Structure 1
Amino acid sequence: MCLGIPMQVLETDGFTARCAGRGEERSVNVMLIDEVPEGSWVLVHLDRAVRPLEVDEVEPLNRALDAILLAAKGENVDHLFADLMEKATA
Structure 2
Amino acid sequence: MCLAIPMRLIEIDGVAAVAEVDGVTRAVRLDLLPEAVLGDYVLIHAGLAIARVDAEHAEETLTFLRSLADEVY
Shorter-chain TM range is 0.7 to 0.9
Could you say which residue in structure 2 is the equivalent of 1:71?
Answer: 71
Off by >3 Å, runs of 4+ in structure 1: none
Separation (CA, whole Å) in 2 of partners of 1:69 and 1:5: 13
Instruction: Quote how far apart the aligned CAs of 1:57 are.
Output: 0.7
Could you say which residue in structure 2 is the equivalent of 1:20?
Answer: 20
Percent identical among aligned pairs is 30
Q: Structure 2: any 5+ residue segments left out of the alignment?
A: none
Separation (CA, whole Å) in 1 of partners of 2:54 and 2:2: 21
Could you say which residue in structure 2 is the equivalent of 1:10?
Answer: 10
Q: Structure 1: any 5+ residue segments left out of the alignment?
A: 74-90
- Structure with bigger helix share is 1
C-alpha distance after superposition, 1:12-34 (max 9, x if no partner): 12311111113310110111124
Normalised TM-score (structure 2): 0.86
Partner SS for 1:68:
helix
Could you say which residue in structure 2 is the equivalent of 1:76?
Answer: none
Instruction: Quote how far apart the aligned CAs of 1:8 are.
Output: 0.7
RMSD value, Cα? 1.5
Larger Rg: 1
Separation (CA, whole Å) in 1 of partners of 2:66 and 2:2: 15
Letter in 2 for 1:22: D
Instruction: Quote how far apart the aligned CAs of 1:2 are.
Output: 3.8
How many residues are treated as equivalent by the alignment? 73
Partner SS for 1:36:
coil
* 1:43 aligns to 2:31 (yes or no): no
Separation (CA, whole Å) in 2 of partners of 1:22 and 1:4: 15
